[in-house]
Structure 1
Amino acid sequence: MTEYAQTVDGVRIAYDREGAGQPLVLVGGAGQFRAVDPATRELTAALADRGFDVVHHDRPGRGDSGGEPPFGLAGEVAAIRALLELVGGRAWLYGSSSGGAIALAAAAGLPGVDRLLLWEVPLGEEGGTDGAQFLAAIRALVAAGDREGTLRLFTEDIPGWFDSVRAGPQWPLYERMAPTLEADAEALAWTQSAPRRQLWASITAPTVVLLGTDTFPFMADAADSICRSLPDAERAELPGGGHRWRAADLADRIAAYLPAQ
């Protein structure tokens, strides 16, 4: 059943909550929200079965959550803050794809993040300018009201994704959330805004950077950069390719970090 939290700015955040045990907040990536993301709903149930109190939310401006443009990284962190308060002030964060960059920003800026689990975060080269350039292009499309163009640009490296979604019945849901991609682009650009050791100096939570066994080479490079830049980080692989995973495999891997009973 959908429940709601509220950020300090009064934005209503819709979420599902399932299970009991270790609190875990899931942070979706660019195209993820509950209405169109059965894989993460399946992951939520699998994690709940393995000893987690799981919160799966619609990010601001997506699905049943509120919010109005412009959408930015600060609003995403505010939503995570509200969800941390909901579960008692401390939790693990799992960030998927660009949601991993948001999870890193939350861990850098908020107390109470006890562990970070990051799935294939598509970071550009440390110190690069491609993230800032991409953010500028996304902001220009959002400002022009070109939601279709925003989605097309953001997904241009995923063959067939845009055309499939554009022709499908869920297109109106994606079209509504298109302006929220500015937050994803800002999060990715933020990871290039300073040396990463400096940018993430306040992150002390143990971090696991998860990759599929058949991942894209640049994802592996990004994972190595994250591990070099944090004091307590490791890489871990699980079966998967094409930026996809099986819920049972991912849930088992995450549950392996629970303390022994």
Structure 2
Amino acid sequence: MATTAESATIEQGSVVSADGTEIVYDRRRGGGAGTVIQIGGAFSYRKFPKMAQLAEALVRDHGLTVLTYDRRGRGDSGDTPGVYDVRREIDDLVALAEAEGGPDNEVSLFGWSSGAALALLAAAGGRLPGLVRVVAFEPPFVVDDEHHVPPADLQTRLHALIDAGRRDETVRYFMTRGMGVPSFVVAAMRFTPFWPKLRATAPATAHDWAVMAPYMRGEPLRPEDWAGVTAPTLVISGEKSAPLLRKGSRAIAGLLPAAEHRMLTGLSHNPKVGLLAPEVGEFLVGR
């Protein structure tokens, strides 16, 4: 495997998306094995610790150049308050690929949680002609009503909380009602150093919901929605993750034309990077 310095140099850049929104990203240069864009999930940002650790491992151990970026509405990137449309987030990925991709804008995508669903939707839409490979880590598709199903009026309530600037309530509501996290767990988070980070990214949950809303209704995924995902795809789930996440991962992998599903022992939705990175890296470099 290609190796680089122990800690890759981080170079900051930005692109302007189709609607004029600035998207800020960090680049870690690898050894020529290709470029991968990492897409975080709800409450994440480009310097999210585990995303940064994964980026370092992919550069160091696999020679990949890695872009981590602030999805719109979080970190240093711009936003479009009140306008939440998955097509705009795909525009952001297109802009990143055009700026940083290799020959013919070649890139791969790694997505985590709602970021995994966004990666798959971008692949399905065919607007990334240089797309090489996709890794989707636990897209939170809710494919039946056996487990948590978000309420039908979640969007209305979520947008109202965001518009009112009620960030603490936004975090609590999205985590409990959107993600199905037990309320006592969220209450305990309030007293951790991580809570200010959750508050900072709370308004961006409307973008996450724009991505996920059609696929969290407790209904089977429709094959026609995903037929365009023709790039080789690896769907990863963790043996320690909630059954809902494992079930959704298996469901989407079963629909994609060129996909495989791997469930990793010892892995959860809050992953150990040492378990996740080798699987991601080996797949992205074609081994």
Provide Cα deviations, 1:73-126, integer angstroms capped at 9, x if missing partner.
Answer: 222212111111122322111110111111122112222322111111111126
**C-alpha contact 1:59 1:65 (8 A) present in aligned 2:** yes
Could you say if the C-alpha distance between residues 170 and 251 of structure 1 is closer, same or farther in structure 2, counting changes exceeding 3 Å? closer
Equivalent residue in structure 2 for 1:154, among 174, 177, 186: 174
Structure 1 residue 238: Cα displacement: 2.4
* Partners of 1:152 and 1:243 in 2: CA distance: 19
Query: Which residue matches 2:207?
Result: 183
Structure 1 residue 250: Cα displacement: 1.6
* Partners of 1:243 and 1:195 in 2: CA distance: 21
Query: Which residue matches 1:40?
Result: 51
Matched, 1:139 2:159: yes
Matched, 1:19 2:29: yes
Structure 1 residue 192: Cα displacement: 5.8
Query: Which residue matches 2:243?
Result: 217
Query: Which residue matches 1:85?
Result: 98
Could you say if the C-alpha distance between residues 204 and 132 of structure 1 is closer, same or farther in structure 2, counting changes exceeding 3 Å? farther
Matched, 1:97 2:106: no
Provide Cα deviations, 1:102-159, integer angstroms capped at 9, x if missing partner.
Answer: 1122112222322111111111126998475433432232234332222111112335
**C-alpha contact 1:215 1:240 (8 A) present in aligned 2:** no
What 5-or-longer segments of structure 1 have no aligned partner?
Answer: none
* Partners of 1:192 and 1:199 in 2: CA distance: 14
* Partners of 1:192 and 1:242 in 2: CA distance: 20
Could you say if the C-alpha distance between residues 51 and 76 of structure 1 is closer, same or farther in structure 2, counting changes exceeding 3 Å? same
**C-alpha contact 1:72 1:180 (8 A) present in aligned 2:** no
* Partners of 2:156 and 2:251 in 1: CA distance: 24
Structure 1 residue 173: Cα displacement: 4.4
Could you say if the C-alpha distance between residues 172 and 221 of structure 1 is closer, same or farther in structure 2, counting changes exceeding 3 Å? closer
Could you say if the C-alpha distance between residues 68 and 168 of structure 1 is closer, same or farther in structure 2, counting changes exceeding 3 Å? farther
Give the % identical residues: 32
Equivalent residue in structure 1 for 2:68, among 32, 56, 64: 56
Could you say if the C-alpha distance between residues 131 and 205 of structure 1 is closer, same or farther in structure 2, counting changes exceeding 3 Å? farther
Could you say if the C-alpha distance between residues 130 and 165 of structure 1 is closer, same or farther in structure 2, counting changes exceeding 3 Å? closer
Q: Number of residue pairs matched?
A: 259
Query: Which residue matches 1:253?
Result: 279
Equivalent residue in structure 2 for 1:4, among 14, 17, 21: 14
Query: Which residue matches 1:197?
Result: 223
Q: Matched residue of 2:239: which SS? A: strand
Could you say if the C-alpha distance between residues 27 and 161 of structure 1 is closer, same or farther in structure 2, counting changes exceeding 3 Å? farther
What is the alpha-carbon root mean square deviation over aligned residues?
Answer: 2.5
* Partners of 1:165 and 1:65 in 2: CA distance: 26
Provide Cα deviations, 1:190-213, integer angstroms capped at 9, x if missing partner.
Answer: 336895211112221111110112
Provide Cα deviations, 1:19-59, integer angstroms capped at 9, x if missing partner.
Answer: 32211000000021134x21111111100111211101111
**C-alpha contact 1:39 1:247 (8 A) present in aligned 2:** yes
TM superposition outliers: structure 1 runs of 4+ over 6 Å: 126-129
Structure 1 residue 166: Cα displacement: 3.5
Greater shift in the superposed pair: 22-31 or 61-70: 61-70
What 5-or-longer segments of structure 2 have no aligned partner?
Answer: 1-10
